[in-house]
Each structure stands twice: as structure tokens, then as C-alpha cells.
């Protein structure tokens, strides 16, 4: 018994090749659920980090200097343990480094060179995280900036389409957990860190719920949106009601776009977004839930 729900990021394509990778990730995670929900979370996110189709690990967007700086975090709702890495470079599976940090140290967050050195010490191989497609997009964006024009690529994806922060929530029938991984936003300032490694901002898990967010990270951090969702569920709201209310609140407070995925201690799911697309795959008791779609609030919030 158990549920894994995983999303591919805001404005990520819902075309078959992308959904297939998300389905593979969800199923891989579920297969490891009997070994522990934290290991299952890691395996699911690893699958997306290894694919160039998503903005995390290999395929991350590049900053202004043409470097992939990545953030990742993992939360154990049962124990309250949390660990994250921020602005880490040249490590293809940042979520695995975050898990190792949680299980082998008393540290909560490592950033930049320190995170990279910890990863190397723990045996994680150095690797290229820049896909050819993202490199071409970066060149195009820099060229437009040099000519005094705005970059044409999507802020979240770094491309003309697809892939912001990815995230996963899990329930093994008793315990809850959450994990996220991202390359951040396209052409960001070097050293910029978003909401993914900020507990309560872009990710949260407790004995009540597990929550992951994607979108404009600064807005989620400033409004503590993930924690807000958890508090709403703890107060009696259904996860669907909680995520929809959180996005309306985010729009009111910051005028920001986002997607939120949540799961509670009863195995109830909530998912909503207010941007272009937000692909979500749900695996229940080892089976993919067919035709699952998050609620699109964009027409409501924009008055369309």
C-alpha cells in the first residue's frame, strides 16, 4: 500500500515522451517503497535528474555565466529531518547528495563549493550537467541580451517550452516524505538560490502532509507557501482545497505563477497550477492512475 505523486515542473510539456519519463520515475520509486520511503523518493527524482527533458541534474538551465547551479532537498515527514544542497555544480544527482547529507551529518544545508566537496568526499562522481539543448538556449539568450533584447526562452524552462523544478511526494500508508530538484530559473544571477532548498517555502513534510512547489522561487519563499499548505490541511482542509487556496494567496500576495502538489496522511492528493502546463503522474498501489490532471486555475485567476 502506498502512493507516489510526481510532477515535472511548471510549463513542462505534457507530451508522451515527458509523461513516460514521469511514469517511469513514479514506478521506480514505488518498486523501492518496501525498502523505505526516503529511498523511494530519491530513486524517483534520480530518474528525472538523469533525463535531459527536465530542469534538474543533467538538463538544468544555465545561469548568466553559462553554468548549471542546482538545488535539491529532501524531507522526512515522520522525523522532521530535512537536508538540502544549493548552487551545487557538476553533480548529476543533487537529490542523492541531499539525502546523504541528511543521513550522515547533522547539517541541514550545504551550498556551492562546500556542497560539491562533500559530494566528492562521499564518492559522487563529477559530471557534466549541461545538455546540448540548454547550452544552445543559453547562447541564444545571451545573444539577445547583448543586443538589448529580452531573452525569448521560458523563465522556468530555459527553452521555448518545458521544465521547471521537479518534485515528488510519497505516502507509505503511514509516513510522508517530499523531495525536489532543480536547475533554477534561466539566466539567473550566479549564486542565486530558489525555494527548493528552503523548508516551508518550496517544500515541506510533516506527519500531516507532504508538499512540493514549483514556479517563481522567491515568491514561494517570501510567502512560506509549502508550510501554508500543510497548515491548511492540518486545519481540516482537503489537500485539493489547500493547494488551490495557496495558489490564490500566492497570486494575491505576489502576482506569481506556480504549481503545487500535496499528499496527506489519509492518502488524499491535491494538485493545481496557474501557468501553462503542470504534468503530474500518480502511482497508487503500484498502478499509474489513468488520466490524472491537476486543476488549472489560470482562467480563474486571470479572469479569462
67-123 pLDDT, tens per residue? Answer: 999 999 999 999 999 999 999 999 999 999 999 999 999 999 999 999 999 999 999
Kindly report the pTM of this predicted structure. 0.92
Query: What element of type H or E holds 41?
Result: helix 37-49
List residues with catalytic annotation. Answer: 165
Residue 237 sits at φ, ψ, to 5 deg, of -75, 145
Percent of the chain having pLDDT more than 90? 80
pLDDT at 163 over 60: no
Would you state the cell numbers that stand for residue 163, as one nine-digit string?
Answer: 521544465
pLDDT at 157: 44
- From the number of C-beta atoms within 10 Å of its C-beta (0-12, 13-18, 19+), residue 104 rates as exposed
pLDDT at 158 over 60: no
pLDDT at 140: 80
264-296: per-residue pLDDT in tens?
999 999 999 998 899 999 999 999 999 899 999
pLDDT at 149 over 90: no
What CATH number has the domain bearing residue 172? 3.60.20.30
Q: Which residues pair with 186 in a beta bridge?
A: none
Q: What is the DSSP string of 98-113?
A: HHHHHHH-S-SEEEHH
Give the Cα separation of 255 and 273 in Å (integer).
Answer: 13
pLDDT at 164 over 50: yes
Question: Which residues 6+ apart lie within 8 Å of 123 measured at CB?
Answer: none
Q: Which domain holds residue 101?
A: 3-302
Give the residue-averaged pLDDT of 241-255: 97
139 band by pLDDT with thresholds 50, 70 and 90: confident
Indicate the range of 53-67, 109-123, 220-234 predicted with least confidence.
Answer: 53-67
Give the residue-averaged pLDDT of 127-141: 82
Domain count, the chain: 1
pLDDT at 93: 98
Amino acid at each position: 500500500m502506498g502512493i507516489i505523486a510526481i510532477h515535472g515542473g511548471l510549463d513542462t510539456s505534457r507530451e508522451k515522451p515527458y509523461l513516460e519519463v514521469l511514469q517511469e520515475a513514479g514506478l521506480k520509486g514505488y518498486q523501492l517503497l518496501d525498502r523505505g520511503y526516503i529511498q523511494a523518493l530519491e530513486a524517483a527524482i534520480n530518474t528525472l535528474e538523469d533525463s535531459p527533458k527536465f530542469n534538474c541534474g543533467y538538463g538544468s538551465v544555465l545561469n548568466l555565466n553559462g553554468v548549471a547551479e542546482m538545488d535539491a532537498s529532501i524531507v522526512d515527514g515522520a522525523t522532521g529531518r530535512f537536508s538540502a544542497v544549493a548552487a551545487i555544480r557538476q553533480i548529476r544527482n543533487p537529490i542523492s547528495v541531499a539525502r546523504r547529507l541528511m543521513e550522515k551529518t547533522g547539517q541541514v544545508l550545504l551550498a556551492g563549493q562546500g556542497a560539491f566537496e562533500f559530494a566528492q568526499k562521499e564518492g559522487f562522481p563529477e559530471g557534466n550537467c549541461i545538455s546540448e539543448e540548454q547550452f544552445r538556449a543559453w547562447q541564444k539568450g545571451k545573444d539577445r541580451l547583448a543586443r538589448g533584447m529580452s531573452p525569448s526562452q521560458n523563465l522556468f524552462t530555459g527553452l521555448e517550452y518545458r521544465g521547471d523544478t521537479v518534485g515528488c511526494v510519497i505516502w507509505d500508508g503511514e509516513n510522508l516524505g517530499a523531495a525536489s530538484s532543480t536547475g533554477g530559473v534561466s539566466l539567473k544571477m550566479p549564486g542565486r538560490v530558489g525555494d527548493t532548498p528552503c523548508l516551508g517555502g518550496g517544500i515541506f513534510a510533516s506527519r500531516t502532509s507532504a508538499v512540493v512547489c514549483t514556479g517563481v522561487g522567491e515568491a514561494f519563499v517570501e510567502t512560506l507557501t509549502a508550510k501554508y499548505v500543510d497548515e491548511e490541511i492540518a486545519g481540516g482542509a482537503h489537500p485539493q482545497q489547500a493547494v488551490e487556496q495557496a495558489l490564490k494567496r500566492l497570486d494575491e500576495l505576489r502576482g506569481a505563477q506556480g504549481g503545487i502538489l500535496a499528499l496527506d496522511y489519509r492518502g488524499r492528493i491535491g494538485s493545481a497550477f496557474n501557468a501553462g502546463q503542470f504534468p503530474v503522474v500518480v502511482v497508487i498501489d503500484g498502478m499509474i492512475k489513468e488520466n490524472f490532471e491537476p486543476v488549472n486555475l489560470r482562467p480563474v485567476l486571470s479572469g479569462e
